[in-house]
Amino acid sequence: MPAEQDILEDPAAFAEAQRIAGERTWPATVRLGTPIEFGKETITELVFQKGNLGIIRGLNITFDTMPKYEELMAIAARLCGKSLKVIELLDPDDADEVITMAVGFFARCRGAGKKLSPR
């Protein structure tokens, strides 16, 4: 899967995220290369649910533009049921797959084949 910046700027990469999200088996587990120490818990994996439209409630998202990186982090946190702080603590090497999960969810919400406007 392309890096998150590629997905945000490349319509072909976004279409690929839509395709992958549509084929994914849920729940989907992302194993972390660098575990996160959060309180008394050591997080070694994040388990993502398929999610519903309520995941984006309260976020300043429109369907004609790609969400900002911060909004994608919030979507990822909600999809895996973890605090946003957990997502913020991700090692950059683990962030790619986690953000890809959020992009895939957003792609599902928008529907296939729709064009994005630049933000």
Prediction pTM value = 0.79
For every one of its 119 residues, what pLDDT tens digit does the chain have, with 9 covering 90 and above? 444 445 556 777 777 766 777 677 889 999 999 999 999 999 999 999 999 989 999 998 887 778 899 999 999 999 999 999 999 999 999 998 999 899 889 888 877 555 555 55
Structurally, how many domains does the chain consist of? 1
Residue 42 in domain = yes
The domain in which residue 55 lies consists of 4-109
Relative orientation angle of helices 69-80 and 92-110, to the nearest 10 degrees: 90
User: CA separation (Å) from 92 to 4, 36, 37, 50, 106?
Assistant: 11, 12, 15, 23, 21
Domain presence at residue 103: yes
